Amino acid sequence: MLNGFTKGLLIGSILGTSIGVMMDTSMMKRRNRRKMMKAGRSFLRRTGNIISAVVEAFR
């Protein structure tokens, strides 16, 4: 339960921030947006694995 909640909270906050930045089209070009999304996906994958490992260590 704690693992899912923590992971969801972190992912939700990162997604909310990135969507807010991407909605402002004057700030980003299409190529930069794609690059940022790709980097964000890999970051979320790594972060999720790290959070899972930390929570498992405390159990």
pLDDT at 28: 61
| Per-residue pLDDT tens over the stretch 6-55 | 777 877 888 787 777 666 666 666 677 777 778 878 877 888 877 787 77
Q: Are 4 and 48 in contact (CB under 8 A)?
A: no
The total number of residues shown for the chain amounts to: 59
DSSP assignments along 32-46, one per residue = HHHHHHHHHHHHHHH
Residue with tokens 């999720």: 48
Give domain limits for the chain.
Answer: 2-58
d(CA 32, CA 1): 36
Angle between helices 2-23 and 30-58 (to 10 degrees): 170
